Amino acid sequence: MRPFVITLADTPPRPWRNGGGVTRELLAWPAGGGWQVRVSVAEIETDGPFSPFPGVERWFAVLEGGGVSLTIAGAEHRCRAGDPPLSFSGEPPVDCRLLHGPSRDLNLMLRGVRGAMHRVVAGEAWSPRGGRCGLYALVAGRCRADVTTTEIPAGSLAWFEPAPRTLSFQPGSPSDWAAPGWWLAAEAREPEA
Protein backbone atom coordinates (compact mmCIF):
# COMPACT_ATOMS: atom_id res chain seq x y z
CA MET A 1 0.00 0.00 0.00
CA ARG A 2 1.64 3.19 -1.20
CA PRO A 3 0.61 6.61 0.15
CA PHE A 4 -0.03 9.82 -1.71
CA VAL A 5 2.94 12.04 -0.76
CA ILE A 6 3.03 15.83 -0.99
CA THR A 7 5.90 17.97 0.26
CA LEU A 8 5.65 21.34 1.93
CA ALA A 9 8.19 22.72 -0.57
CA ASP A 10 5.88 21.79 -3.49
CA THR A 11 2.82 23.46 -1.93
CA PRO A 12 2.36 27.17 -2.66
CA PRO A 13 1.67 29.46 0.30
CA ARG A 14 -1.64 31.34 0.50
CA PRO A 15 -1.86 34.49 2.63
CA TRP A 16 -4.34 34.62 5.48
CA ARG A 17 -7.28 36.99 5.07
CA ASN A 18 -6.09 38.96 8.13
CA GLY A 19 -2.48 39.19 6.90
CA GLY A 20 -1.08 37.42 9.99
CA GLY A 21 0.64 34.62 8.12
CA VAL A 22 0.41 32.09 5.30
CA THR A 23 -1.01 28.58 4.97
CA ARG A 24 0.13 25.69 2.81
CA GLU A 25 -2.75 23.27 2.22
CA LEU A 26 -1.35 19.77 1.89
CA LEU A 27 -4.68 17.95 1.65
CA ALA A 28 -8.35 18.79 1.25
CA TRP A 29 -10.57 15.71 0.92
CA PRO A 30 -12.74 15.58 -1.01
CA ALA A 31 -11.29 18.26 -3.26
CA GLY A 32 -13.12 21.55 -3.52
CA GLY A 33 -14.84 23.75 -0.97
CA GLY A 34 -16.84 20.96 0.68
CA TRP A 35 -13.89 19.21 2.32
CA GLN A 36 -14.30 16.85 5.27
CA VAL A 37 -10.59 16.51 6.03
CA ARG A 38 -8.04 19.29 5.65
CA VAL A 39 -4.35 19.15 6.54
CA SER A 40 -2.26 22.30 6.38
CA VAL A 41 0.87 23.94 7.72
CA ALA A 42 0.55 27.55 8.83
CA GLU A 43 3.32 30.07 9.31
CA ILE A 44 2.18 32.60 11.89
CA GLU A 45 4.07 35.88 11.69
CA THR A 46 2.01 38.28 13.84
CA ASP A 47 -0.53 38.20 16.66
CA GLY A 48 -4.19 38.09 15.63
CA PRO A 49 -7.38 36.05 15.35
CA PHE A 50 -7.80 32.69 13.66
CA SER A 51 -10.52 32.39 11.03
CA PRO A 52 -13.69 30.76 12.40
CA PHE A 53 -14.66 27.30 11.11
CA PRO A 54 -18.17 26.48 12.40
CA GLY A 55 -18.88 22.75 12.55
CA VAL A 56 -15.17 21.86 12.33
CA GLU A 57 -13.06 19.97 14.88
CA ARG A 58 -9.53 21.37 14.86
CA TRP A 59 -6.25 19.77 15.91
CA PHE A 60 -3.19 22.01 16.26
CA ALA A 61 0.50 21.32 16.96
CA VAL A 62 3.54 23.61 16.88
CA LEU A 63 6.19 22.23 14.53
CA GLU A 64 8.91 24.83 15.06
CA GLY A 65 9.50 28.37 16.23
CA GLY A 66 8.66 30.20 19.43
CA GLY A 67 5.19 28.76 19.97
CA VAL A 68 1.87 30.48 20.52
CA SER A 69 -0.71 31.30 23.15
CA LEU A 70 -4.22 30.56 21.90
CA THR A 71 -7.15 32.08 23.75
CA ILE A 72 -10.22 30.01 22.91
CA ALA A 73 -13.56 31.12 24.35
CA GLY A 74 -11.69 32.94 27.14
CA ALA A 75 -9.33 30.07 28.09
CA GLU A 76 -5.59 30.39 27.37
CA HIS A 77 -3.61 27.46 25.93
CA ARG A 78 0.16 27.73 25.49
CA CYS A 79 1.49 25.58 22.66
CA ARG A 80 5.18 24.97 21.96
CA ALA A 81 7.14 22.59 19.74
CA GLY A 82 7.13 19.19 21.43
CA ASP A 83 3.85 19.75 23.30
CA PRO A 84 0.89 17.39 22.77
CA PRO A 85 -1.56 18.54 20.08
CA LEU A 86 -4.45 20.77 21.07
CA SER A 87 -7.99 19.86 19.97
CA PHE A 88 -10.73 22.50 19.89
CA SER A 89 -13.94 23.48 18.13
CA GLY A 90 -13.64 25.80 15.14
CA GLU A 91 -16.70 27.82 16.22
CA PRO A 92 -15.62 30.03 19.14
CA PRO A 93 -13.30 33.00 18.59
CA VAL A 94 -9.60 32.10 18.74
CA ASP A 95 -7.02 34.80 19.42
CA CYS A 96 -3.38 33.93 18.77
CA ARG A 97 -0.39 35.59 20.42
CA LEU A 98 3.17 34.65 19.46
CA LEU A 99 5.31 33.67 22.46
CA HIS A 100 8.83 34.18 21.04
CA GLY A 101 8.72 35.10 17.35
CA PRO A 102 7.17 33.37 14.33
CA SER A 103 5.73 29.86 14.61
CA ARG A 104 5.16 27.04 12.09
CA ASP A 105 2.16 24.86 12.96
CA LEU A 106 0.40 21.71 11.75
CA ASN A 107 -3.40 21.79 11.45
CA LEU A 108 -5.85 18.91 11.04
CA MET A 109 -9.44 20.04 10.42
CA LEU A 110 -12.37 17.61 10.41
CA ARG A 111 -15.92 18.33 9.23
CA GLY A 112 -18.52 15.57 9.61
CA VAL A 113 -15.84 13.00 10.44
CA ARG A 114 -13.94 12.25 13.62
CA GLY A 115 -10.22 11.87 14.01
CA ALA A 116 -7.13 12.69 15.97
CA MET A 117 -3.51 13.76 15.86
CA HIS A 118 -0.84 11.71 17.70
CA ARG A 119 2.89 12.15 18.07
CA VAL A 120 4.95 9.59 16.15
CA VAL A 121 7.19 7.43 18.33
CA ALA A 122 10.09 6.37 16.10
CA GLY A 123 10.00 2.68 15.23
CA GLU A 124 6.78 1.95 17.16
CA ALA A 125 3.73 0.64 15.33
CA TRP A 126 0.52 2.68 15.25
CA SER A 127 -2.85 1.15 14.34
CA PRO A 128 -5.34 3.60 12.85
CA ARG A 129 -9.00 2.69 13.40
CA GLY A 130 -10.00 2.54 9.75
CA GLY A 131 -10.98 5.33 7.44
CA ARG A 132 -8.13 7.49 6.21
CA CYS A 133 -4.86 8.39 7.86
CA GLY A 134 -1.57 10.10 7.30
CA LEU A 135 1.90 10.88 8.52
CA TYR A 136 3.33 14.37 8.65
CA ALA A 137 7.08 13.73 8.66
CA LEU A 138 9.24 16.45 10.19
CA VAL A 139 12.34 14.50 9.15
CA ALA A 140 13.20 12.17 6.28
CA GLY A 141 12.72 8.46 6.85
CA ARG A 142 10.91 5.26 5.93
CA CYS A 143 7.22 4.70 6.53
CA ARG A 144 6.07 1.08 6.72
CA ALA A 145 2.39 0.42 5.96
CA ASP A 146 1.59 -3.22 6.67
CA VAL A 147 4.29 -4.85 4.47
CA THR A 148 5.13 -1.94 2.12
CA THR A 149 7.88 0.60 2.87
CA THR A 150 7.99 4.09 1.32
CA GLU A 151 10.75 6.70 1.59
CA ILE A 152 9.26 9.94 2.96
CA PRO A 153 11.06 13.29 2.58
CA ALA A 154 11.30 15.75 5.46
CA GLY A 155 8.44 18.26 5.64
CA SER A 156 5.89 16.12 3.83
CA LEU A 157 2.50 14.49 4.23
CA ALA A 158 2.04 10.80 3.37
CA TRP A 159 -1.72 10.09 3.08
CA PHE A 160 -3.30 6.63 3.01
CA GLU A 161 -6.77 5.83 1.60
CA PRO A 162 -7.86 3.44 2.99
CA ALA A 163 -5.85 3.28 6.20
CA PRO A 164 -3.56 0.26 6.54
CA ARG A 165 -3.79 -2.00 9.59
CA THR A 166 -0.47 -0.78 11.00
CA LEU A 167 2.01 2.01 10.33
CA SER A 168 5.47 2.78 11.65
CA PHE A 169 8.07 5.42 10.85
CA GLN A 170 11.83 5.05 11.04
CA PRO A 171 13.78 8.35 10.78
CA GLY A 172 16.79 8.26 8.48
CA SER A 173 19.16 9.62 11.13
CA PRO A 174 19.45 8.57 14.79
CA SER A 175 19.58 12.27 15.76
CA ASP A 176 16.00 12.65 14.43
CA TRP A 177 14.38 10.06 16.73
CA ALA A 178 13.20 12.57 19.37
CA ALA A 179 10.33 14.18 17.41
CA PRO A 180 10.00 12.69 13.92
CA GLY A 181 6.41 13.67 13.11
CA TRP A 182 2.66 13.32 13.66
CA TRP A 183 0.09 10.62 12.87
CA LEU A 184 -3.25 11.97 11.56
CA ALA A 185 -6.50 10.00 11.52
CA ALA A 186 -9.93 10.62 10.00
CA GLU A 187 -12.87 8.24 9.96
CA ALA A 188 -16.59 8.47 9.32
CA ARG A 189 -18.80 9.15 12.32
CA GLU A 190 -21.15 6.42 13.46
CA PRO A 191 -24.76 7.18 12.48
CA GLU A 192 -26.81 8.55 15.37
CA ALA A 193 -29.62 6.33 16.64
Q: Tell me, what CATH number does 83's domain have? A: 2.60.120.10
Output the pLDDT for position 191.
47
In a domain, 150, yes or no: yes
Q: Please check the confidence at residue 155 and state whether its pLDDT lies above 70.
A: yes
Residue 69, in any domain of the structure: yes
> In terms of residue numbers, what domain contains 68?
12-110
Examine the domain organization and report whether 118 and 105 are in the same domain.
no
Last residue of a domain, which of 54, 76, 110? 110
Q: Are residues 98 and 160 in the same domain?
A: no
In a domain, 4, yes or no: no
- 81 lies in the same domain as 106: yes
* Same structural domain, 94 and 22: yes
pLDDT digits (tens, 9 = 90+) for 81-113: 989 999 999 999 999 999 999 999 999 999 999
Q: What is the 3-state secondary structure (H, E, C) of the chain?
A: CCCEEEEHHHCCCEECCCCCEEEEEEEEECCCCCCCEEEEEEEECCCEECCCCCCCEEEEEEEEECCEEEEECCEEEEECCCCCCEEEECCCCEEEEECCCCEEEEEEEECCEEEEEEECCCCCCECCCCCEEEEEECCCEEEEECCEEEEECCCEEEEECCCCCCEEEEECCHHHCCCCEEEEEEEECCCCC
Per-residue pLDDT reduced to its tens digit, 166-179: 999 999 988 888 88
Of all residues in the chain, the percent with pLDDT exceeding 90 is 77
pLDDT at residue 192 above 90? no
Confidence of residue 2 (pLDDT cuts 50, 70, 90): confident
Q: Does residue 59 sit within a domain?
A: yes
189: pLDDT confidence band, cut at 50, 70 and 90? low
**Position with higher pLDDT, 19 vs 150:** 150
| pLDDT value of position 179 | 81
Does 193 have pLDDT greater than 60? no
Tens-digit pLDDT profile for residues 30-78 = 987 789 999 999 999 999 998 889 999 999 999 999 999 999 989 999 9
